[in-house]
Amino acid sequence: MKRFALRAERQKSAYERRAVVKTRFRKRTSGLEKQPNAHSASFPESIRRHGKLFLQSVPRKRVGKHGKLAMDIVPAKYDASLALQIKGRVAVKLKLGFSGKNIIILGIQGPTHEGVLNIPELRLAEEIKAINTELGMPWPKFLLQEVERYAREQGYKSVRILDPEQNYYYTHPVIPFVRQQSLPKTSKRARMLRTRLENQKQPQLSKDELAALKSPTGRGYRNFFGEKVIENGKLVLNPKIRDSGKEGRQTYEEIWEHLEYYIKIAPVQADLRRKIKQFYHLVAKNNGYKKSGQFFVKHL
């Protein structure tokens, strides 16, 4: 009788475990939506088809030396649908995608500008340092180790970090709130371009300025208020629209107000791209990933 009771208890426990992982997968994939700038590995169909074993296996848990941090798989936005997140006072995450038997890290993301508008830059650095201290290692290393461990247990072949240059937000980086506030009120470069344009010349924009103008909010200024602004990398706005009455002068000044903003942020975005690239290469090198095509790869 005892033997039969023990077997029944084991069967019950196995059934309960299966129920838990099925519920976990269902909750994590219900309501998934294709994000506007996402890699195909994070499309809902890819996640449901190739990510099931991984998403079932990773529990929500407390992590760190004193259990002060929560780790879970959570919804993501913009360039991925899901992320493995650690949250203390601020959140850090790896954005996830799945392709066959490979797990794709689509982004290594620190605290976003949306969540830290009221936290000074110095204080934000302290919060990240506190997370690293609690984990006993840099947070990207900890999260990658967690991904690798569960991936290995579930039979995945590799973990791959997408080269940041393939990410939409590398080309169009979001400028932190603090740096937005520190932008100069006027731009000598913008004034010089305007002077040259008004002297019947078509000044060439730099590569960084063109990249800024192609950003999600800047792309429309190639043709703004019905006026052609950029062609073949040059400013071609017709200064004569100023002379077409009050509406023309207003349109001209509004166009220049926007152009000057993107000319000012161009070097800031270029600096962010440089730092992003350095960060990804350093994380990959320090965690045993090797460059292969569009990815940094570690075989499991």
Which tens digit of pLDDT belongs to each residue from 27-84?
888 878 888 888 899 999 999 999 999 999 999 999 999 999 999 999 988 889 999 9
Give the percent of the chain with pLDDT over 70: 83
122 and 38 fall within a common domain: yes
Q: Which residue has the tokens 């703004």?
A: 224
Instruction: Give the pLDDT confidence score for residue 222 in this predicted structure.
Output: 55
The answer as to whether 245 is a domain residue is yes
The answer as to whether 21 is a domain residue is no
| For residue 250, pLDDT beyond 90 | no
Q: Dihedrals φ, ψ of 168, to 5°?
A: -55, -40
| For residue 4, pLDDT beyond 60 | no
Give the percent of the chain with pLDDT over 90: 45
124 and 201 fall within a common domain: no
The answer as to whether 169 is a domain residue is no
Q: Average pLDDT over the chain, rounded to whole?
A: 84
56 and 118 fall within a common domain: yes
110 and 186 fall within a common domain: no
Q: Which of 140-144, 196-200, 206-210 has the highest mean pLDDT?
A: 140-144
Instruction: Give the pLDDT confidence score for residue 224 in this predicted structure.
Output: 63
Q: What is the pLDDT of residues 227-236, one digit of tens each?
A: 778 888 888 8
* pLDDT confidence tier of residue 3, bands split at 50, 70 and 90: low
Q: What is the pLDDT of residues 128-152, one digit of tens each?
A: 999 999 999 999 999 999 999 999 9
Q: What is the pLDDT of residues 13-25, one digit of tens each?
A: 656 666 667 777 7
Q: What is the mean pLDDT of residues 82-92?
A: 92
- Count of domains in the chain? 2
186 and 153 fall within a common domain: no
* pLDDT confidence tier of residue 196, bands split at 50, 70 and 90: very high
125 and 189 fall within a common domain: no
Question: Does the global pTM surpass 0.85?
Answer: no
48 and 102 fall within a common domain: yes
CA distances from 97 to 104, 157, 161, 198 (A): 5, 14, 10, 50
| For residue 5, pLDDT beyond 50 | no
Contact 283, 108 (CB under 8 A): yes
* pLDDT confidence tier of residue 298, bands split at 50, 70 and 90: very high
103 and 218 fall within a common domain: no
Instruction: Give the pLDDT confidence score for residue 158 in this predicted structure.
Output: 97
108 and 147 fall within a common domain: yes
The answer as to whether 188 is a domain residue is yes
The answer as to whether 99 is a domain residue is yes
42 and 80 fall within a common domain: yes
The answer as to whether 62 is a domain residue is yes
The answer as to whether 170 is a domain residue is no
Higher pLDDT, 212 or 82: 82
| For residue 186, pLDDT beyond 90 | no
Range of the domain at 248: 180-270
Instruction: Give the pLDDT confidence score for residue 258 in this predicted structure.
Output: 83
| For residue 8, pLDDT beyond 60 | no
Q: What is the pLDDT of residues 96-133, one digit of tens each?
A: 999 999 999 999 998 865 545 555 565 778 889 999 99
60 and 123 fall within a common domain: yes
The answer as to whether 280 is a domain residue is no
126 and 52 fall within a common domain: yes
